[in-house]
Amino acid sequence: MNESILETVAKAVGIGESYDHFNDELIMHINTVLMGLRQIGVGPSEPFLITDSTATWSNFLGDDKNYEAVKTYVCLRVRILFDPPTSSTLADAMKNQIAEWEWRLNLEYECNKQKEGETNSGE
């Protein structure tokens, strides 16, 4: 899970690896999405920002494999911000996927928080 966040998102929105003209805009949108994830409990407790292609998914998520869906969620959210579809049907489908992944990621966080509470109270 050590791949670059920026490179993953750029590829997902259809930008080739060697084309970095949109990196500043993508970074801005990625950081916006990462802030939102932090607010629902996903990612590090301290604010996390990327500034270039060196930030990796493991920097953001650590070794927790329960949050692999974060990649899909971030790519979908950035795509809507960066290059929204012209078809309202496609836009609605993407928004529905975003809402589902956001709900599932928050649910995963709440379940993990509950398990941690049970473990800590049992010690």
Average pLDDT, the chain: 91
pLDDT digits (tens, 9 = 90+) for 14-69: 998 789 999 999 999 999 999 999 999 899 989 999 999 999 999 999 887 888 89
Domains: count for the chain = 1
CA–centroid distance for 72 within its chain: 7
pLDDT at res. 1: 46
pLDDT at res. 121: 63
**Structural domain range at position 85:** 5-121
* Alpha carbon separation from 67 to 20, 40, 92, 114, 120 (Å, rounded): 27, 13, 24, 16, 22
26 Cβ contact partners less than 8 Å away, ≥ 6 residues apart: 6, 9, 10, 13, 15, 78, 82
Map residue 4 onto helix, strand or coil. Answer: strand
pTM > 0.75: yes
